[in-house]
Each structure stands twice: as structure tokens, then as C-alpha cells.
Amino acid sequence: MNKALLIALVFLMSLPTFAQKKSKEHLKKEASVKEYIWSEKKDFSAITIPADLEDQSAITLFREVKYIYNRPHNSIEYTKIEHEQVKLLDQVAVNDFSEFKFQKTAHIQGLLNTFILGVKIIKPDGEEIQIDVDNEAIKEEDENKLAIPNLEKGDILDYYFYSNIIVSENDLYQFDAVEDIVGEHYPILDFKFSLETEKDFFVSLNTYNNAPELETYAALSKENKTRLYGFKMQNVASNDFPRWFYPLVALPAYKFQVLFARTRKHEKRANAFMPTDVNTIKKDINKEEIFNLYEDKFSPYGNLGDVERFLKGKDFLNDEHKVTEAFYFIRHKYFTNYVEAFVLDESDIMYPYGYYKNPIIFNSDAQFIKFFAAFLKDNKIDYEILIGTKRYNGLIKDLLLEDNVDFVLKILTENPLYIEHFNQFSTVNQISSLLENSKAYALKVVDRKHIEDIQLTSLPASNHNINNTTESIAITLEEDFSGMQINRMSATTGHNKVDAQKDRLNFYDYIYKDHKKYGTEPVLDQVKKEKDRLRYKKEYKSLLDKQKEKQLKELEKQTESEYDLEIEDYTFNVLNNGRFGVEDPLEFEEAFTLKEELIRKAGNNYILLIGKLIGGQADIDEEHKQRDNNVYMNYPRSYSNNISLTIPEGYSVQGLEKLNKNVQNQTGGFTSEAVVTDNVLTIKTNKYYQNYFEPAANWPDMVSFLEEAYLFYEGKILLKKN
Amino acid sequence: MDPTPEDVSKAKELRSIYDEEDIVLLESDNLVTFAIEDNKVAVNNYTTEHLMNINYRSDIQKPIFYDGESKIEKFQFYYRNKKEARILSKDVSYTDNDLFHNDARVKFANVDFPTQGYTYFFESIKHTKDIKYFTSIYFTSEYPSLSRKIVIEIPEWLHIELFEKNFENFDIQKTEEQVGDKKIITYQVSNLDAYYDEKSSPGPSYIYPHVLLLAKDFTYKGEKQILFNETKDLYTWYRSLTKDINTDSELLTQKVTELTAGATSDEEKIKNIYYWVQDNIRYIAFEDGIAGFKPETAENVLKKRYGDCKGMANLAKEMLVIAGFDARLTWIGTKRIAYNYSTPSLAVDNHMICTLLQDGKKIFLDPTEKFNAFGEYAERIQGKQSMIEDNDSFLLEEVPTSTSSRNKESFLFNATITNEEIEGLASRAYEGESRADFLYNFNNLKSNKKQEALKNYLASYNRNVLISDIETSNLENREAKIDVNYALKHSNAVSSFDNEMYIDLDFYKEFDNYTFEERQTNYNFAYKKDVLTEMRLKIPETYTVSTLPESFSVDTDNFKISVSLEKESDYIVYKKEFEIKKATITTADFEAWNAAITKLNAIYNEQIILTKS
């Protein structure tokens, strides 16, 4: 079931087979955990299920999530307890909760990880049946499985997952940050969250999106070595997690980070936002704290020899031009230059790294930023480092977890340039769509070296014209109307291009262009011994041939799925990789045939389901035309089509009026225009999403243009015999 | 080691023949020998293969499966020059999605063939501790084999019969020779295809050539020991596992009393028990050593509310016995298995049900079949021979077969055209297995999602079809015909151009494009089908029918497809029937089937035309 999986995922690692026999200590722990969680007997008969929830599949009567951080015998101990009481109202719920999979207690990377599952069933008459998990569970190689016995509709399943890790003594130990929403697929009547720590643990913790304020159940003091914080919430609605939705922004949630540090000095080494005083729970962070954490982290660093040689003797229009060219050079020199080597290594053809004198490969964004800062400093170009957070995490002012931070380099040329990622496709001014259009902090760099100030700023936004996909489709009908030949030219720019490049390009489509452009030598050409070189090249060619064959099949499948139609005689050809700028398009052409699926015989005439050629459209069914949740999208975008069809001789077209559509509003639009000129039918369509975000109140506007696009998709024309 | 130029050209040639394959077995040999260990007959299966990469490059996983009754004693690759290749192997438990827990394991290695024509030799030894679990050996494997040889060395002390299955369509050479005290049987065949990767195929025992090993007896230290010499011996072993599992149980008696308390007839008592087990015992499969053959006790299954087929059959049996009926455990091979009990082997069956003997009749109960009505049988056991316990003896009985008309499914629609929409009242009805199928799916939906899901299902997930005002018969009754009545509105079915209306009446379009072009095996349906459609469309006033697609009908031994469109006074009457008479379309039917589907597609793609008078 889902829940079990979630728990397991947190610690998902491969485990060595671990002694099956449980230690005395483990048994003692099991007993004490059970006592801790189930000591209080609850009167379930006192709970009445609200009338509006009676048709649910199941209701969570009670859910508690508790984290405990403490220090037994100088160790550091982490405990997580999830405890739920679920009333199963139909057979589906019984099936959903009838099988549990859970981690085995084991040593993982040298740490003892203890997992305990407790299950009992409360029958409608109040009878409690405790499941003997130890005896009933099946111990498999890497997990335990439990089929819950005696479970029936109407029962309450009361279960807990207890997980515990003991970390040996450390000066500093940073636990994984936690962020979660309160709600689930089933409604919850009663929810409780708590975090318990002993002293020496630094804690940042807060609640968001109308979750209740944190309460202090117990604070640290001289007498009190343990503190307890948390909140309670009643009647948490279920959520279906619809399309275009950011749960951590929309639903009650909590986030926290815990750190063990022996002293304040140790704490400073942590990569997290932490309170200065161990007794305080940190609920938010201010500019200064961000400044303090990052002030030293991006000092310019790197050997600029390669870049200098590249720049030498070249004329640039301005600094923007220079920075841009230098970036693409660096992208190649320290990344795509090595892609062939990665491939050769991974496919066991040869060990390539010995052929490089001193390979420098950037594999973290931070490494790149330091290097690029060094380049900027050397060239006396000012810059800032922007600290942002992806929009699905919430607003930057609510930032609490270092994990949620992303960096963007802003270069202060006349028109500022933004650089974020460092990978084979990253281009200047293309930052993550999820960071765009949000607030960020700017770390002000003085003398191009020292970070001296921090200010609130905005990250740029893109628009639907830039994030565009345009498909030009030329249709040629078979003479006997048994099918059609399609030639399609696609061009994508902006964020639409990002996924398209991943889907449509393989490394060999661009790395050799880079080698040529920058005059570098692929590693295979550096192999001196001819016999070896020939053999490696032969094996490498086999690998590429196989990959190209596979790629073509995958591309064909992808195009098939766009149309939801079977296609044949597929060919594909890349025209432009689109790797040198946001507006540098990825362009490719495809040709294929479609059998009669889009052609309907109508007496002597033919109906052509021409709308289907714009590809599948968002289909909002009746149930989803109502929406209470706000709409969170990754970026504004547009999809354009230019379809042309030469009308077969002896036929004329009818029904064009239904293909002319125009619905445009504040949220976006769909427009289409169909005209016949010189016996050629031309249809132009454009669908666009105007914004990143729409309040739920604007949903009907969105539905109206999405519906119009769907109607077009179902549109037909009649080819009438003259 | 680079391939030789001969290997490269051979690989190219093979690729032109096997154009979808990466690897071909140039040679694939098995040698099966027997030995006595721990007073049992153990089996050693030596595999030698010569694998060639015929594609540009291949990266494969080479697996050998085993379980608690067997072990892998050798697993080794060699280069072209026979030097050992150091390829790491892994040994992990093998989880099957259909089984909650099993003891299957797999030893495997990731092997790369860097260029076309690259070859490896592979050798393995699999040791099976007890011959009863070594039931068969197949010629076909996951790769095509150019030369395939199976050698079986039978020692004098072992009495074994080899049962050759599906040899008809293959040119398998068999030789026998006596070498010392061993009889050596060699089978050899060339150019064998790989396993077919096709859905809804019959079980492998129907398709691929194989040899069943029927071990009859063996003589050890002068003493003859019977294995499965005849069906009785198989039964005796099964019986030994089931004879004493149940003990008196107050809990069982209590439950039976509760279930039969209000019943006024024997039949009602039986149904109360049978349906209760169907509804309340969750099917969870275990296959772990002897648990794969021995049922869990009835009391335990009752307490746990879950079990596998054996546990559920045994519970039903025990409860019926307590209620005073004559009920017996029954072994059966489902439709997936090609054999019957004339071959005494563990390969014969894979399922357990319960048989009720009443008034000289035998009624089969399969509690794993959710929503199965008493006295009706699921397709997967129909016509299959079953082995019913009868103290120290046993009864063989075939499960009766039924006809497609018992599973009738119908759709009626009385429609008019309003504003380019087709609307009217519709109804659907389900009987037999179509009913069980419907009920199973419906009752597996979350309560608060049921209505929406039903609407979507009735609309055939077509967003242009709007369903409302649904009324149904009791959707928990597994015995009566199910009726679903509702209002249906179909938009985008009518296109008006000038004076003409073009109508695409049928939005279900069952079997649309359902041709079998490259398929090599029979296509099995879940059950015999008889699906009827009748739509009556009122012709709008001032319109006349100018074009109706041409009717057609095909009726063969295995299937019937008929579609008719007629004008009957003010109505267009569209009738359609699909009958899959034996739940299968055989490869021999494919030509006729494909021709019928092509005609069907033509009708689906043709519009009804009404012209304004």
C-alpha cells in the first residue's frame, strides 16, 4: 500500500542479509514502543463520522506524526513514528490496507536502523485484535511483508510505523530536512504533529498554508532536558491532487530541519539555516542569516588559462557577447568535451580518463559558479548571486530549509544575463521555469570578490511567445484516400525546448559539433596505439548504431503518442540543436504515413478528421470543470500549428466555418483560422497559457479556451466530390 | 576478443533473418542426468550455449531461475577462445507481481557484446534435489536457436517415460543408444524461434515443443521405490498433504451455524457458505516449498480472512462438510495447462477448487472466482479434467463447458437527433461471466468514485458521450441478469454540411482495428463472448436516408461477426453482434478474422448520410 511504500522510500537502500533472529534488546524496544504508542485505550464508539464523509472509502480517524531526536549514551538517535487509526468503509479500503511491506531492521552504512510495525484491528463491537507482526510477517531478502489477517469492512485499522537510527558520536550531524503536507487521499478527523528533542539539537521548524501555529508543549530549561513542539488539526479534507497543483504551496504543511552540534563552532559548519541559540526554535530566516550562510561559499576560484586562450585575439561586440561566448566555451571545455569519455567508460569499451592530462569536469552547479565568478572577476564584469527557491516550495520570504535554495548568477552587463544550470543544454538566460517570476535575494558582490550585502530582488519572467512550439504539417492524401503522408517540421524555443531537447536529442547529435566548434579532440582520436584505436572505434560505432536504431524507435513512439494514432514509415532528422540561446530553436523534421484512421467515407465524399493533427489536447471532463484549488503551472507557453493540405483534384472543401475559433481571455486563448487559397487549405492554430498561476476563480476562463481547443481537435472537414 | 570476419558475416546474415532479435544461440545443448541422493532421485541439468550478437551491439541479462528445491552449481561465461570471462553474477530473490510471497530466485549476469558477431560460450549446471519437481524440459528459449540439442541419460535403475509434446510442427530428430548401463536419448532440432512475446496467448505447454519427464520408479539398494508411476501415486502424494490438515474447530462450526441459520433450503445454505468465502477471504498467493502444494488449515484461513486457492477451497469444503454436505477437495489444471491426469506429474495442475456431491451430481465451487454464481463455471476451468478426492481413491471429472450465449452482453439505444446531438434512452445487460466481470470491476471501486466511474465506463471513456439518470438492478447480486438503464447524449456524432447530415452512430466501435497481422499464437479471450448491439435512430422529419453502409455477416466455427443497417419505416436500425464461441481465435482463423475486421472497419469508417428533402 502507498503508506508503506512512502515509509520504505525514505530509507530505500540495498541491504545486506541481516540476521533474522532478533536481539533481546530489539524485543525490549518493540515492547516499549508498543507501550509508548498504545498505552492509552481509546473509545472509538465515541467518534461519530460526519455525514458528508460517509460515502468515503476510508476515513483516517486519527493520524500522528512524531519525530524524536535524543542522545542516549553519547550517541545521536533519530526516531520517527507514524501512527494512524483508519476506519475502512468499503472493500477497496480493506484491500488497500490489507498488505504492508516494511523495511527490515538492519545495519545500513554502518548505522543500526530499527523498523517496527505495530498493527491492531478494532472490530465494530469494540473487540481489539493485536496482530503478532513478528510471527505473521514474511521475512524476505530485502523487506518484510505482512498480510493483515482478519480484516473486514467496518473495521478500524490501528497501526504504527516506528523507525529509528542511532548515529555514533559526532561533532556535527545534519539530519535530512523534512517537509510534508498534513492531508492525504483520505480525510483525517484528527491530526497531530510533534517534534521532540533533547538539548544539543538545533531546530528550525514552522507550519505553512493555514496549518495551525506551532505550540510549545514543553520548553527546554534547567530542569527540563526535553522539549516538545507541535500542532493539532481537525477535519483535514482529502485532496485528489489535480493537474497543475503545488501541494506544498496550497495545503497545510510543515517543514523542519534538525542539526546536532556539540558546540556553536561546529554548528557554523552546517549547511543549514539554524538558530544561534540552541534553546530557540527558529521559525523563519532573515536576509542577514542568508548572507551569513553564503557569504564565503562562492569565492571566485579556478584556473582561467583555457578561457584566456579562448578569448585571446577575439573581438566581442560588448561584455554580454563576451560572457555568452565564454559560457558556451566553458560548457564544452569542462563538460561536453568529456561526454564521449563517459559513454566509453560506461559501456566498458575502454577506460578513457588516462588519455587526459588533467581532466577538469564540473559536476556541481556550485563548482561552476565559483569558476565563472573567477572569469567575471578577471574580466572586470560585475555580478550578483541570486538566492531563489522553486515556486512549488513556497515564497522566498517563507524559506526555512537550505535544501530549497537554488542559485542563479546574474551578470550586471548593460542588459543583465542570467545563468543557472551547467549541463549540455544550458544556455545563457535560461533559468529553471520554477524559479522564474518569483522573488529572490541578491548577494551583492563588491570588487567582484566579496559578498557585502543582500537585497530582495525579482527573478525575470518569460512569456508564452518565448516558450513556444510550432509545428508545420504538410498533408498529402493518397489518391485512393486510403491514408496520408505527413511531413512535419517542429521548432521549439524557451522552456518548451528544455524537455524536447532531452526527448529528441542524443549526445552524438551535438558533442561532435562542439568538438569542431572549439577545436578539441574527441578522446578516441587521442588513442595513440592504432590497433587499440581501431578496436575502440569499431566498438563505439556499434554502440552508436544500436543507440541510433533505438532512438529512432523511441522517437516514432513519441510522435505516435502525441497523436494517439499508429504511424508508419517514420523518418527523423535534426535541423538545429538549439543549444546557443533561449530563442535558438530546436528544429527537427519528421515524415510518416497515417493509414485511414483520420479518413471517413461518406458516400462519394470523404470526411477528414483534420483537427486531430494538432495532437492530443487537455481534456477536462465534467467532474473537473469545477475546481476549488488554485492553478499552479510551471510557465506560460504556447503551441502553434500550421497545417496545409492540397485539396485533391475534383473535390472541394466544406465545413471550414467550424474550424475558425477565437477564445481569448486573461488566462490564455485558442485561435484558429482556416482558409483555402489556390486549392490549398491552410489552417493556423495557436493555443497559449498566459500565466504561471491562476486563482481558482479563473478556472472557468481556462476551461473555456481548453474546451475550444478540444472542439477544434475533434473538428472535421468534408471533401466533397464536385 | 574481436569476432572473426566469418562471425561478423554470419551475424549479418542472421540479422537479416531474425531482424527483431539481438542474440541468437548458435548452439544450445542440455544434458540431463540423474543420481540418487538422500534416497531421492536428483537431477542435474547441464546447459551449454554459444551466444552470438547479431545486432550492432547488445547488452543482455542472462538469467537462470531456481527455487528452494534446486540450486545453481555452475554459471560461467567463456570468450570465443574458451578462456573464462570474468563476468560478475548476482543472485537475488525473484518477485512475481501475482504472488504475495514465493521462494523463486534468479542468478543472472549483465553481459555486453560490444560488436556485431561477438560471441560467448555459456555453461551452467542446475541441480534439482527431487525429480518430482523436474517435470519438463523445453526446446524453446528466450533467443532463437540454430542448433538445439537435448540429451537425457537414463540409468538402468530409473524407470522414466518421456512424453513428447507439441512435436508435430517441428522437425525434431530423436535417437536412442545404449551406452553401458545407460540409455541415452538425444533430441535434435534446427532453427527454432524464440518464445513469442504475445499477450493473451495459450499457456506455453500448448505452443512450444517440450518433453515431460514422467518418473515412474527407481531401484536403490535392491529396493524398488515408486515415484509417480500412475495417477494414483500423484493422488496419494497430494492426499498425504491434505488428509490430516483440518481438526475440529469451534470457530468454524460457529461461523457455519451463523451462515446457515436463516437458510430454508440446502441450496441456500450452500450458497451462503460459498458466497461468504468468495466475498470475505482475500486471495493472497504463497508459493514456498511444500506450501505450494499443501493447503493452510480451514480454521487459519477463516481466522486470517485470506488464503490462496488451496486455502480457500479447503475452507469452503470444511464449512460445507460441517453444514452436512458432501464436499471434496479438487485438483485441477486451468486452461493454461495442456495436460490432463493421464500424465501423472506435478505439471498437470496449478489450481485447487472444491466439489460438492449432491443428488448424484457434482457441482464445482471455485471460491477464488469473485462474483461467480453457484453452478456457473469460469472459462479457465471449463472443460478441464479435475481430480476429486475420494478417500484413498479419487474421481476424475470434467468441468462442464457452457456456451457464449450464457455470457450475453447487450446494448440497446433508442435515439433521436436534436441539434446535431444523438440522444435517447439506453440500456445495458450482462449475464454469466460478463456479469461476474462487471460486478468485480464495479465493486472494486471506491464508494465515492463508483458513480463517476460507472458513467465513464458507460460512455466508453468518450468525452463526447454524456450519461445521466442511471438506474441499475442490484449490483451485489451475482445470480440475476444485470440491467443498467440510463439516458445517453452523444455530441460530435453528427456533422452537417449544406443539406446533408453525416452520422457516425456507433461510439463503441468494438474490435476496431483488431486484426492479427504478425501474431504467431492463438488469441485467448477471458471468456466466451456474445455481445449484441441494437441502436434505433429516428430519422428527422424532412430528411431521407441517402447512404447506409453495407451490412455484412461472417459466421465460422469459432466466431461470428455481423453488422446490419436497415431502414425500418422512420428508423435506421443498426444491429451488431460479436460472438467468440470458444473464447479463442486460433491462428487458423486469423485470415477469416482479419477479413471480417477489415469489413467492420470499413463500416465504422463510413458515415450514414441523411439528405434534406
Question: Which 8-state DSSP code applies to residue B539?
Answer: P
Rounded to whole angstroms, how far apart are CA atoms A135 and A139?
A: 10
> Smallest Cβ distance to A152: which of B93, B280, B498?
B280
> Do B389 and B424 reside in the same domain of the chain?
no
pLDDT tens digits, residue range A644-667? 999 999 999 999 999 999 999 999
Grouping H, G, I as helix, E, B as strand and the rest as coil, residue A504 is helix
Residues 6+ apart with CB under 8 A from A363: none
Number of domains in chain B: 3
> Do A325 and A435 reside in the same domain of the chain?
yes
In chain B, what residues touch A346 (CB-CB under 8 Å)? Answer: none
pLDDT tens digits, residue range A121-160? 999 999 999 999 988 898 888 889 999 999 999 999 999 9
Closest CA to B564 of B556, B529, B554: B554
> Smallest Cβ distance to B448: which of A55, A545, A655?
A55
Grouping H, G, I as helix, E, B as strand and the rest as coil, residue B11 is helix
Residues 6+ apart with CB under 8 A from A368: A330, A334, A362, A422
The residue to which cell 478426492 is assigned: B389
The pLDDT score that the predictor gives to residue A70 is 92
How is chain B split among helix, strand and coil, in percent rounded to 5?
20, 45, 35
Q: Compute how many other C-beta atoms are within 10 angstroms of the C-beta atom of residue A596.
A: 18
Rounded to whole angstroms, how far apart are CA atoms A377 and A371?
A: 10
A716 touches chain B (CB under 8 A): yes
pLDDT tens digits, residue range A283-299? 999 888 898 888 888 88
> Do A102 and A224 reside in the same domain of the chain?
yes
> Which of A370-374, B267-271, B274-278 is the least confident region?
A370-374
A673 occurs within a structural domain? yes
Instruction: Give B518 to chain A, closest Cα distance, Å.
Output: 15
* For residue A10, pLDDT beyond 80: no
A610 occurs within a structural domain? yes
Mutate to test the interface with B, among A131, A541, A601 (most CBs of B within 10 A): A601
> Do A490 and A516 reside in the same domain of the chain?
no
A296 touches chain B (CB under 8 A): no
Q: Taking CB atoms and an 8 Å limit, are A546 and B55 in contact across chains?
A: yes
Q: Hey, which residues does B361 pair with through a beta bridge?
A: B358
> Do B394 and B422 reside in the same domain of the chain?
no
- H helices present in B180-323, as ranges: 204-207, 231-242, 250-260, 266-280, 298-304, 309-322
Residues 6+ apart with CB under 8 A from A227: A196, A197, A216, A218, A219, A220
Q: Hey, which residues does B595 pair with through a beta bridge?
A: none
* For residue B310, pLDDT beyond 60: yes
Residue spans of beta strands (DSSP E) within B57-138 = 58-66, 70-78, 84-85, 89-93, 101-102, 105-113, 119-128, 136-138
The pLDDT score that the predictor gives to residue A17 is 34
Question: Which 8-state DSSP code applies to residue A155?
Answer: -
Quick one: which H or E segment has residue B363? strand B361-365
The pLDDT score that the predictor gives to residue A23 is 75
**ipTM of the prediction:** 0.89
Q: Taking CB atoms and an 8 Å limit, are A542 and B303 in contact across chains?
A: no
In chain A, what residues touch B116 (CB-CB under 8 Å)? Answer: 542
Domain closes at, from A229, A254, A274: A274
A45 occurs within a structural domain? no
* For residue A574, pLDDT beyond 90: yes
Please report, for the domain that includes residue B308, its CATH number.
3.10.620.30
Domain closes at, from A247, A274, A301: A274
Closest CA to A479 of A586, A599, A371: A599
Name the range with the highest mean pLDDT among A91-95, A197-201, A372-376, B149-153: B149-153
A349 touches chain B (CB under 8 A): yes
Q: Are B32 and B43 in contact (CB under 8 A)?
A: yes
> Do A492 and A535 reside in the same domain of the chain?
no
> Do B377 and B452 reside in the same domain of the chain?
no
Instruction: Kindly give the pairing relationship between strand B210-220 and strand B136-138.
Output: antiparallel
> Do B197 and B296 reside in the same domain of the chain?
no
In degrees and rounded to multiples of 5, residue B75 shows phi and psi of: -155, 95
Task: Measure CA A145 to chain center.
Answer: 30
Closest CA to B478 of B356, B375, B336: B375
Domain closes at, from B398, B414, B435: B398
The pLDDT score that the predictor gives to residue B394 is 97
pLDDT tens digits, residue range A685-722? 999 999 999 999 999 999 999 999 999 999 999 999 98
Q: Hey, which residues does B48 pair with through a beta bridge?
A: B29, B123
A452 occurs within a structural domain? yes
Instruction: Give B445 to chain A, closest Cα distance, Å.
Output: 6
A40 occurs within a structural domain? no
Domain closes at, from B178, B206, B226: B226
Closest CA to B314 of B335, B334, B293: B293
Q: Taking CB atoms and an 8 Å limit, are A542 and B114 in contact across chains?
A: yes
pTM of the model: 0.91
CA nearest to A100 within chain B: B100
> Do A231 and A342 reside in the same domain of the chain?
no
In chain A, what residues touch B280 (CB-CB under 8 Å)? Answer: 152
A444 occurs within a structural domain? yes
Amino acid (1-letter code) at residue B58: S
Residues 6+ apart with CB under 8 A from B61: B108, B109, B110, B111
- pLDDT > 70: what percent of chain B? 100
> Smallest Cβ distance to A140: which of B101, B446, B601?
B101
pLDDT band at B94 (very low <50, low <70, confident <90, very high): confident
> Do A230 and A189 reside in the same domain of the chain?
yes
pLDDT tens digits, residue range B19-57? 999 999 999 999 999 999 999 999 999 999 999 999 999
The pLDDT score that the predictor gives to residue A621 is 85
> Do A515 and A587 reside in the same domain of the chain?
no
Q: Taking CB atoms and an 8 Å limit, are A92 and B446 in contact across chains?
A: yes
A42 occurs within a structural domain? no
> Do B41 and B99 reside in the same domain of the chain?
yes
Using CA atoms of A548, A550, A555, A561 in order, give the dihedral in degrees to the nearest 10: 180
Rounded to whole angstroms, how far apart are CA atoms A113 and A58?
A: 31
pLDDT tens digits, residue range A250-275? 999 999 999 998 877 787 778 889 88
Rounded to whole angstroms, how far apart are CA atoms B132 and B130?
A: 5
Query: Which cell numbers in the block locate residue B180?
Result: 553401458
In chain A, what residues touch B504 (CB-CB under 8 Å)? Answer: 600
Instruction: Kindly give the pairing relationship between strand A637-646 and strand A468-477.
Output: parallel
Question: Which 8-state DSSP code applies to residue B340?
Answer: -
In chain B, what residues touch A708 (CB-CB under 8 Å)? Answer: none
Grouping H, G, I as helix, E, B as strand and the rest as coil, residue B467 is strand
The pLDDT score that the predictor gives to residue A142 is 81
| A18-38 CB burial, b ≥16 within 10 A, e <16 | eeeeeeeeeeebbeebbeebb
Q: How far, in Å, are A93, B238, B346 from residue B335 at the CA level? A: 32, 21, 16
* For residue B11, pLDDT beyond 70: yes
Q: Compute how many other C-beta atoms are within 10 angstroms of the C-beta atom of residue A516.
A: 10
> Do B108 and B211 reside in the same domain of the chain?
yes
Rounded to 5°, angle at Cα A69 from A68 and A75: 135
Instruction: Kindly give the pairing relationship between strand A178-181 and strand A253-261.
Output: antiparallel
pLDDT tens digits, residue range B414-464? 999 998 899 999 999 999 999 999 999 999 999 999 999 999 999 999 989
* For residue A20, pLDDT beyond 70: no
Domain closes at, from A274, A293, A310: A274
> Do A565 and A441 reside in the same domain of the chain?
no
The pLDDT score that the predictor gives to residue A13 is 30
The pLDDT score that the predictor gives to residue A170 is 78
* For residue A482, pLDDT beyond 70: yes
Domain closes at, from B226, B255, B270: B226
CA nearest to A536 within chain B: B114
* For residue A7, pLDDT beyond 60: no
> Do A439 and A495 reside in the same domain of the chain?
no
The residue to which cell 493556423 is assigned: A684
Query: Which cell numbers in the block locate residue A532?
Result: 587499440
Please report, for the domain that includes residue A94, its CATH number.
2.60.40.3140
Q: Compute how many other C-beta atoms are within 10 angstroms of the C-beta atom of residue A485.
A: 14
Q: Are B14 and B22 in contact (CB under 8 A)?
A: no
Rounded to whole angstroms, how far apart are CA atoms A169 and B17?
A: 65
> Smallest Cβ distance to A601: which of B444, B445, B606?
B606
The pLDDT score that the predictor gives to residue A456 is 93
A397 occurs within a structural domain? yes
Grouping H, G, I as helix, E, B as strand and the rest as coil, residue A47 is coil
In chain A, what residues touch B2 (CB-CB under 8 Å)? Answer: 535, 538
> Do B457 and B592 reside in the same domain of the chain?
yes
Q: Compute how many other C-beta atoms are within 10 angstroms of the C-beta atom of residue B261.
A: 9
> Smallest Cβ distance to B304: which of A94, A138, A149?
A149
Counted across chains A and B, CB pairs separated by less than 8 A come out at 125
Q: Taking CB atoms and an 8 Å limit, are B58 and A546 in contact across chains?
A: yes
Mutate to test the interface with A, among B20, B605, B606 (most CBs of A within 10 A): B605
Q: Hey, which residues does B123 pair with through a beta bridge?
A: B48, B76
Q: In what order do the strands lie in the sheet with A138-139?
A: A99-102, A144-147, A138-139
* For residue A162, pLDDT beyond 70: yes
Q: Taking CB atoms and an 8 Å limit, are B605 and A622 in contact across chains?
A: no
pLDDT tens digits, residue range A389-410? 999 999 999 999 999 999 999 9
* For residue A620, pLDDT beyond 80: yes
Using CA atoms of B152, B154, B159, B162 in order, give the dihedral in degrees to the nearest 10: 20
As a whole number, mean pLDDT of residues B225-254 equals 93
Q: Taking CB atoms and an 8 Å limit, are B115 and A720 in contact across chains?
A: no
In chain A, what residues touch B546 (CB-CB under 8 Å)? Answer: 603
The pLDDT score that the predictor gives to residue A22 is 64
Mutate to test the interface with B, among A101, A345, A622 (most CBs of B within 10 A): A622
Q: Taking CB atoms and an 8 Å limit, are B112 and A348 in contact across chains?
A: yes
Residues 6+ apart with CB under 8 A from A450: none
Number of domains in chain A: 3
* For residue A5, pLDDT beyond 50: no
> Do B591 and B455 reside in the same domain of the chain?
yes
Instruction: Kindly give the pairing relationship between strand B351-358 and strand B361-365.
Output: antiparallel
In chain B, what residues touch A619 (CB-CB under 8 Å)? Answer: 463
> Do B327 and B419 reside in the same domain of the chain?
no
> Do A59 and A111 reside in the same domain of the chain?
yes
The pLDDT score that the predictor gives to residue B349 is 95
* For residue A623, pLDDT beyond 90: no
Q: Taking CB atoms and an 8 Å limit, are B452 and A623 in contact across chains?
A: yes
A707 touches chain B (CB under 8 A): no
- pLDDT > 90: what percent of chain A? 76
Please report, for the domain that includes residue A575, its CATH number.
2.60.120.1130
> Do B202 and B266 reside in the same domain of the chain?
no
* For residue A11, pLDDT beyond 70: no
Q: How far, in Å, are A32, A310, A616, B31, B439 from residue B412 at the CA level? A: 64, 77, 31, 61, 20
The pLDDT score that the predictor gives to residue A12 is 31
Task: Measure CA B442 to chain center.
Answer: 22
pLDDT band at A597 (very low <50, low <70, confident <90, very high): confident
Q: Taking CB atoms and an 8 Å limit, are A602 and B446 in contact across chains?
A: no
> Smallest Cβ distance to B100: which of A89, A99, A596?
A99
Q: Compute how many other C-beta atoms are within 10 angstroms of the C-beta atom of residue A234.
A: 9
Segments forming the whole domain that contains residue B561? 404-612
Q: What is the Cα gyration radius of chain B?
A: 29
A132 touches chain B (CB under 8 A): no
Segments forming the whole domain that contains residue A645? 468-505+543-721
Rounded to whole angstroms, how far apart are CA atoms A473 and A492?
A: 15
Closest CA to B606 of B559, B574, B582, B561: B574
Using CA atoms of A605, A606, A611, A613 in order, give the dihedral in degrees to the nearest 10: -140
Question: Which 8-state DSSP code applies to residue A696?
Answer: G
> Do A578 and A608 reside in the same domain of the chain?
yes
DSSP annotation string for A372-419: HHHHHHHTT--EEEEEEE-GGG--GGG---GGGEEEEEEE-SSS-EEE
> Smallest Cβ distance to A55: which of B112, B116, B447?
B447
> Do A524 and A599 reside in the same domain of the chain?
no
